[in-house]
Copies of this chain bind each other. A is one copy, B any other.
Amino acid sequence: MLTSIITIGDELLIGQTIDTNSAWMAQRLNDMGIWVHRRVAIGDKREDILSALRQESSVSQIVLITGGLGPTADDITKPILCEYFNTQLVQNEEALKNVLHIFESRGLPILERNIEQSMVPESAIIIQNDWGTAPGMWFEKEGVIYVSMPGVPYEMQGVMTSYVLPQLEKHFKTPAVMHQTVVTSGMGESFVAERLVAFEASLPPHFSLAYLPSYSLLKLRLSAFGSEKLEIAAEMSTLFHELKALVEDITVSDQDIPIAQVIGQLLHEKGKTVGTAESCTGGLISSQITSISGSSAYYKGSVVTYANEMKVRLLGVNPATLKAYGAVSEETVVEMVTGALKILETDYAIAVTGIMGPDGGTPEKPVGTVWIAVADANTIITKKHHLRYDRERNTNMAAVYAMNELRKLILQ
């Protein structure tokens, strides 16, 4: 079952918006055994939209379209869908009620252009959008299913979850697809691949292995396609077990979850707590830890000490240490992590101090120098890294390195 995703909107083509919709849709479809084989982004242009509809419907049985349905003049999808499906816009009662309801409940006056959002192509099945004013639209033409959805992520997700995915499941007997991922750290892609040469060669033809570097981690994704879910599940179980054994020494997690969630699970299991003392990462580690729902069980708080005076005032770092060794030093990061344990009263603490760039480097401490410390009541472990990338990437890598050190300490 082949699917194309078409995203419409100039903002995607001039790089003003990053397309997160396609990844979300692909994940959900994949879980159902529907394979997205092409994703196409095009602008708000009649001919480009028409030609994408023609092209994708010639290679896919399902064409999912997002974007271009808003209340403003740059959204031109609906008339073009009418042209393509040879139909016309009519007012839809349900969609109108929905628009009126949304404006009423938000206490906003309603405009002509909002009411126009309830005009829909006559030949479409209308999908209620409980999250916004533009309804979804389901078309069928010459054996191909087309669904047009709003581009706002949570609206698209609502329409997909409430209607599109269940309907597709009903329509198609989909093949079985499975993915399992093991996340590793500490060994380069080539070296891991070298270790897995025999394993890869032994894989049956309906299995494949992919290498996905992600900041300082490397994900190994084992995928299987087959007609019988139970059959490939059994094979997957055996082969994934084999894969895990081969990379046991470098494994971070045997689930494809963020490192913040990995340490969250460990802390939760052990009933322990963690806090952070962040300088160069500026709150990113804290933000990643708290992005996990349920983190309040093991996460109490943090201090972000960007300025030296804050390291002294909030964490009790000795001014003499800062003077003698500088803010980016093993001595300082040790005092930061012990200070964090003390003032946050947590079982574990993470501290990070470094120079993320583009400015602030010196010959002895170039941009990218980062000291990380993790500690509990008995142990302090420090690590120094030299990161070679831009500010954003350096900061994200430092956060991953730091959380991975904590993971290792918890498991000690």
Given A290-B306, A300-B310, residue A193 in contact with residue B73 (CB < 8 A): yes
Chain B residues whose CB sits within 8 angstroms of the CB of A18 once the complex forms? 18-20, 23
- Which of B179, B283, B343, B395 contacts A14 (CB under 8 A)? B179
- Within the assembled complex, what's the spacing in Å between the Cα atoms of A284 and B278? 13
Q: How far is the CB of A152 from chain B (nearest CB, A)?
A: 7
- Within the assembled complex, what's the spacing in Å between the Cα atoms of A45 and B2? 14
Task: Say whether A144 faces chain B, with CB atoms less than 8 Å apart.
Answer: no
Name which residue of chain B comes closest to A114, CB basis. B190
Chain B residues whose CB sits within 8 angstroms of the CB of A22 once the complex forms? 12, 15, 19, 41
Chain B residues whose CB sits within 8 angstroms of the CB of A200 once the complex forms? 73
Name which residue of chain B comes closest to A151, CB basis. B213
Pick out which of these stretches binds chain B: A234-242, A244-252, A384-392: A384-392
Name which residue of chain B comes closest to A7, CB basis. B39
- Within the assembled complex, what's the spacing in Å between the Cα atoms of A391 and B391? 26
A-B contact list, 11 entries, CB within 8 Å: A12-B26, A19-B19, A108-B191, A111-B194, A113-B190, A152-B213, A276-B304, A286-B286, A301-B305, A301-B307, A303-B303
Chain B residues whose CB sits within 8 angstroms of the CB of A26 once the complex forms? 12-15
Interface pair B306/A299, CB less than 8 Å apart: yes
Given A210-B10, A210-B74, A389-B154, residue A289 in contact with residue B300 (CB < 8 A): no
Task: Say whether A55 faces chain B, with CB atoms less than 8 Å apart.
Answer: yes
Q: Which 4 pairs of residues, A with B, have the shortest CB-CB distance?
A: A282-B290, A283-B286, A283-B283, A15-B27
Chain B residues whose CB sits within 8 angstroms of the CB of A302 once the complex forms? 283, 303-304, 306
- Within the assembled complex, what's the spacing in Å between the Cα atoms of A300 and B309? 8
Task: Say whether A46 faces chain B, with CB atoms less than 8 Å apart.
Answer: no
- Within the assembled complex, what's the spacing in Å between the Cα atoms of A256 and B16? 9
Name which residue of chain B comes closest to A315, CB basis. B301
Give per-residue flags for A297-327: 1 if the beta carbon is below 8 A from chain B beta carbons, else 0: 0011111111101100110000000000000
- Within the assembled complex, what's the spacing in Å between the Cα atoms of A154 and B387? 13
- Within the assembled complex, what's the spacing in Å between the Cα atoms of A153 and B111? 43
- Within the assembled complex, what's the spacing in Å between the Cα atoms of A221 and B9? 13
Given A18-B18, A30-B14, A287-B284, residue A154 in contact with residue B72 (CB < 8 A): no
Task: Say whether A291 faces chain B, with CB atoms less than 8 Å apart.
Answer: yes
Chain B residues whose CB sits within 8 angstroms of the CB of A189 once the complex forms? 70-72
Name which residue of chain B comes closest to A27, CB basis. B15
Interface pair B294/A283, CB less than 8 Å apart: no
- Within the assembled complex, what's the spacing in Å between the Cα atoms of A73 and B30? 22
Chain B residues whose CB sits within 8 angstroms of the CB of A15 once the complex forms? 22-28, 30, 36
Interface pair A70/B211, CB less than 8 Å apart: yes
Task: Say whether A226 faces chain B, with CB atoms less than 8 Å apart.
Answer: no
Given A304-B301, A389-B154, residue A11 in contact with residue B210 (CB < 8 A): yes
In chain A, positions 250-297 with a C-beta closer than 8 Å to chain B are: 256, 276, 278, 281-287, 289-291, 293-296
Task: Say whether A53 faces chain B, with CB atoms less than 8 Å apart.
Answer: no
Q: How far is the CB of A367 from chain B (nearest CB, A)?
A: 11
